[in-house]
Amino acid sequence: MNEITRRDEVSLSAAALRGAPWKAAAIGGGAVAAVSFGLGWLLPGPADLVWALGLGISLFSLIAAIGAIAKPNEGDRVTRQARLWSLKHPAKFALLPAGITAVLDYPVQLVLDGEGVFGSAFQAMWHGALVYVIAAILTITMRGRAQSSQ
């Protein structure tokens, strides 16, 4: 009976993210959003604030996710165990950063893009899906850390 529920999986992902570099993630996501929007003003074509903010939110979630599992042997016992679980179950771990991206991106899409409730939800879910795939792939590449730390 080593089966865990979906709620337990979310709790483990959240525990792994507890030690994420949130400040670095916010700075990185904000900087990328600012540069993206700034380049839109400098280069030919329109500056797209919604695109820049979506990119920044996605990068924020990715930096937090990868930063959280980058050092699996640091933190308290619960955090270490959650990080090791995350490295062993990258597809399940990547669901939470993807969800964070979709939840943060939805109001941006809804208010600034004017696509409506369903169009905004689709765009936010699409961004979340991209973060899911990238976070899962990066977590798989870091899987050796979980195996070498046991």
Dist. CA 109–CA 83, nearest whole Å: 32
89 Cα distance to chain centroid: 15
User: Residue 149's pLDDT is what?
Assistant: 52
Query: What's phi and psi for 44, nearest 5 deg?
Result: -65, 145
Using CA atoms, how far apart are residues 147 and 141, in angstroms rounded to an integer? 12
Q: What is the pLDDT along the chain (150 residues), one digit of tens a residue?
A: 467 888 888 888 898 898 899 999 999 999 999 999 999 888 887 888 999 999 999 999 999 999 999 888 888 888 889 899 899 999 999 999 999 999 999 999 999 988 889 999 999 999 999 999 999 999 999 887 555 555
- The pTM of this model reads 0.88
What is the pLDDT at residue 146?
A: 56
| pLDDT in the model for residue 3 | 79
* Helices and strands of the chain, counted as H and E runs: 8, 0
CA dist 68 and 79 (Å) reads 9
